[in-house]
Amino acid sequence: MADLTTELEAYGIDYTDAIDRFGGSADFYEKLALRYLDDSNYVNLVAAMEAEDYDAAYKAAHSLKGVSGNLSFARLFKVAAAASDALYQGEPQAAATLMPELKEAHEQVLAGLTKWQNGEL
């Protein structure tokens, strides 16, 4: 587990926290974490921001914050929470400035999950 913990940490995934959160069930956590590969919240957020539909953007950012928090995607959670808060406070430009970092954190998690799924970790 120590190796997997270290390897996932490089992708912004706090495996130790996740296993604690999931009551020690590594298999259950893996199953749910890998479902994130099909999660549409990030894509919905990007589309809503591009369309300047800030209500939809807030909903997507808030959902992304929840999913990433529950799955212990630490960096993604932090940035999604900041974007969600900015949108909630009616500050779409502040949220827009976070989008590059959000994209990077999202892609980092996807890369780690893909490697995990493919047995490369």
- Tens-digit pLDDT profile for residues 101-115: 999 999 999 999 999
b/e map of 34-55 (b: 16 or more CB within 10 Å)? eebeebebbebbbebbeeeebe
Q: Could you say which DSSP state residue 13 is in?
A: -
- 3-state SS class at 120: coil
Question: What was the pLDDT predicted at 1?
Answer: 56
Question: What was the pLDDT predicted at 80?
Answer: 98
Share of the chain above pLDDT 70, in %: 98
Q: Could you say which DSSP state residue 52 is in?
A: T
Question: What was the pLDDT predicted at 2?
Answer: 61
Question: What was the pLDDT predicted at 16?
Answer: 95
- Check: CB of residue 11 under 8 Å from CB of residue 109: yes
Question: What was the pLDDT predicted at 98?
Answer: 98
- Tens-digit pLDDT profile for residues 26-76: 999 999 999 999 999 999 999 999 999 999 999 999 999 999 999 999 999
- Tens-digit pLDDT profile for residues 72-95: 999 999 999 999 999 999 999 999
